């Protein structure tokens, strides 16, 4: 309504201006032809205003889309945290392994599982967001009988492929421990777990075997 009113005012001024100066027609901003024909949208400025309002509409539309996207991002960043920590919860065995094939390590004593992305039954972490993740695992093995040797090999798997590993293969120590930490880019749905390599074993205080991880930041 405002636009129509100001357009009408412009047209009226334009018409008066033209009447007062009948010999020179300063037509730069005015559509003189339609002024003479008494058309309703007689001013060029009317078209300009029309274009401006269309442009403004598109800009507002874009801003509104950007705001709702931003809101979604903020909710996903502040509303959810992904962090877990689990250890081997000392079931009936005193040694885990050896097995004839590679086996996921069941870190089933979960003391942290924010975001519920870690599945303790399978020992698998599943990424819910594309992002950079941090993982740490510590292995500990203490020989429980004389004459045994350390024979450990664990590897961190991403979608079934080994990424990093730790191993120990000697007769000198009766107990050994090592830790591996890494930053890993993951896409939504990627799965990470720790695997005991075939023929190897962990013995003794299995509770010192810990697997933990968290989303450092989403992409
Ligand atoms: C699980 O881990 C916690 C923290 O390390 C420990 O206090 C608890 O005894 C463990 N539970 C089992 C069943 O191993």
* Of 121, 135, 212, nearest in space to 181 by CA: 135
- Does position 148 have pLDDT exceeding 80, yes or no? yes
Among protein residues, the one with the nearest Cα to ligand 1's atom 1 is 109
Judge whether residue 107 has pLDDT over 80: yes
* Measured distance between the N- and C-terminal CA atoms of the chain, rounded to whole angstroms: 46
Give the number of the atom of ligand 1 that is nearest the alpha carbon of residue 89: 14
* Chain segment 164-193, per-residue pLDDT in tens: 999 988 878 888 899 999 999 999 999 999
Token representation of residue 93: 């065995």
Lowest average pLDDT, out of 27-36, 87-96, 183-192, goes to 27-36
Residues having CB closer than 6 A to ligand 1 are: 87, 89-90, 109, 111, 207
Residue 7 or residue 65, greater confidence = 65
Select, from the ranges 89-93, 130-134, 169-173, the one with the highest average predicted confidence (pLDDT): 130-134
Gyration radius of the chain over CA positions: 36
Mean per-residue pLDDT over the chain, rounded: 82
Higher-confidence residue of 68 and 88: namely 88
Span 133-142, average pLDDT: 95
Residue 31's pLDDT is 62
- Tell me, what's the pLDDT at 11? 45
Residue 7 near residue 41, CB atoms below 8 Å: yes
pLDDT for 23 beyond 60: no
Backbone angles phi, psi at 14, to 5 degrees: -60, -45
Q: How much is the pLDDT for 15?
A: 47
CA of 210 to the centre of ligand 1 (A): 11
The backbone torsions φ and ψ at residue 214, rounded to the nearest 5 degrees and listed phi first, read -160, 160
The 3-state DSSP composition of the chain as helix, strand, coil percent (nearest 5) reads 30, 35, 35
The confidence score (pLDDT) of residue 3 equals: 43
Q: Is the pTM of this model over 0.85?
A: no
Instruction: Give me ligand 1 centre to Cα 179, in Å.
Output: 19
CA of 33: how far to CAs of 30, 48, 167, in Å?
9, 17, 90
Look at residue 10 in the predicted model and tell me its pLDDT: 47
């Amino acid at each position: 309504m405002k636009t129509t009113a100001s357009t009408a005012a412009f047209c009226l001024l334009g018409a008066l201006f033209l009447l007062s100066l009948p010999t020179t027609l300063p037509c730069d901003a005015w559509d003189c032809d339609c002024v003479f024909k008494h058309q309703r949208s007689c001013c060029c400025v009317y078209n300009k205003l029309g274009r401006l309002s269309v442009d403004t509409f598109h800009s507002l539309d874009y801003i509104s889309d950007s705001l709702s996207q931003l809101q979604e991002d903020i909710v996903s960043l502040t509303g959810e945290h992904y962090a877990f920590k689990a250890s081997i919860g000392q079931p009936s065995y005193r040694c885990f392994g050896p097995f004839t094939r590679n086996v996921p390590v069941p870190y089933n004593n979960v003391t942290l599982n924010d975001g519920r992305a870690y599945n303790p039954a399978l020992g698998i972490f599943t990424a819910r967001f594309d992002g950079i993740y941090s993982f740490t695992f510590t292995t500990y093995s203490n020989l429980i009988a004389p004459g045994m040797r350390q024979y450990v090999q664990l590897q961190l798997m991403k979608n079934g492929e080994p990424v990093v590993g730790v191993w120990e293969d000697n007769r000198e120590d009766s107990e050994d421990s090592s830790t591996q930490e890494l930053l890993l880019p993951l896409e939504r749905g990627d799965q990470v777990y720790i695997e005991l390599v075939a023929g190897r074993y962990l013995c003794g205080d299995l509770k010192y075997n810990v697997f933990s991880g968290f989303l450092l930041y989403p992409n």
